[in-house]
Amino acid sequence: MFKTSIYTLKALIVSVIFAAAITSIGHAQQDISIQSEIMSENREIVVHLPKDYAPNSETGYPVIYMLDAGSKDKFTAELASYYNWGEIMPKVIIVALKNVRRGIDFLPHYYSVERDGKQISGNGGKLLSYIQNELIPSVDKQFNTNDQKVFAGHSWAGQFLAYALSQSPGLFDAYFITSPDIGDGERWSAKTFDALKSALKQDHTFPKFIYVSVGGGEDKSLLADYYRLTALLKQYLPETVKLYHEIHDSAVHESNGAISIPKALQLYFTANTAPE
């Protein structure tokens, strides 16, 4: 109990210092709508631009794509500004996807659930296609981006990242997978792990960096997903891919995301993974 209190106090002190520091750094936020033919609906995103964003800069900006807009994207944008001020990472654009049907949209296409007496297949394949063929091109067209793309997701969104890694492993340069909730025993996880294993064994283009984490205080099923996912990645990923994985002993499900994003950003942007 005392250990947890000290940890919480330290986190609070860091948060206060961090909040004071970023006040003078800042970022700009835009809400944008995209009419998606793939999803057959309007999809909304939140774009966080760095302070002094330069639309004509020759180098362009890396883009960090995040699921669950309104969860950790503002925190990540503020943290990125602070890290840039500290010369830890370049200025970046944060693009966060607003949820429409979080459960079914993140569910892989090879699974289905019952809704109103009918079996409804997962929209994961459509959502991934939308990201690849509509969202990324739209962001590249509207903003001054470069070829460096990161994908971040937590919990059920972390599960979707594992699915995306199995379907289009080279779509992003880096994956930040925190507390992935991949399955309820074998009910949801078996096909995802099989698809990922199959993809890793093929001659694909792979990301340069993968970060996976879980909290030591999380549910046993999430710890099991973490161990199985990291074992698979360690066994089959090419040696050219930098894999970082860790268990944060004091963290629970929500706090692990807040702990992991700062570490993943620092590891990725200081690991010489930026394109030349």
- Contact in structure between 210 and 271 (CB atoms under 8 Å): no
In this structure, is residue 115 part of a structural domain?
yes
In this structure, is residue 4 part of a structural domain?
no
Q: What pLDDT, on the 0 to 100 scale, is given for residue 251?
A: 96
Q: What pLDDT, on the 0 to 100 scale, is given for residue 26?
A: 63
In this structure, is residue 1 part of a structural domain?
no
Which residues share a beta bridge with 27?
50
Q: What pLDDT, on the 0 to 100 scale, is given for residue 25?
A: 61
Which segments in the chain show pLDDT lower than 50? 1-13, 15-16, 23, 273-276
In this structure, is residue 166 part of a structural domain?
yes
Please give the tally of structural domains in the chain.
1
- Hey, CA dihedral for 219, 220, 225, 231, is it positive or negative? positive
In this structure, is residue 6 part of a structural domain?
no
In this structure, is residue 275 part of a structural domain?
no
In this structure, is residue 274 part of a structural domain?
no
Domain CATH number, residue 164: 3.40.50.1820
Q: What pLDDT, on the 0 to 100 scale, is given for residue 188?
A: 65
Measured torsion, CA atoms of residues 215, 217, 220, 225, in degrees rounded to the nearest 10 = 0
Predicted TM-score of the model (pTM): 0.89
Placement of tokens 């009910």 in the chain: 187
User: Residue 197: how many CB atoms within 10 A of its CB?
Assistant: 14
User: Residue 86: how many CB atoms within 10 A of its CB?
Assistant: 11
CA 218 to chain CA centroid, Å, is: 19
What is the rounded CA–CA span in Å between residue 224 and residue 214?
Answer: 10
User: Residue 185: how many CB atoms within 10 A of its CB?
Assistant: 9
In this structure, is residue 113 part of a structural domain?
yes
Question: Residue 212: in which H helix or E strand, if any?
Answer: strand 209-215
List pLDDT tens digits, range 109-154: 988 888 888 888 888 999 999 999 999 999 999 999 999 999 999 9
Which residues share a beta bridge with 244?
211
Q: What pLDDT, on the 0 to 100 scale, is given for residue 183?
A: 75
In which domain, by residue range, is 184 found? 11-269
Q: What pLDDT, on the 0 to 100 scale, is given for residue 113?
A: 82
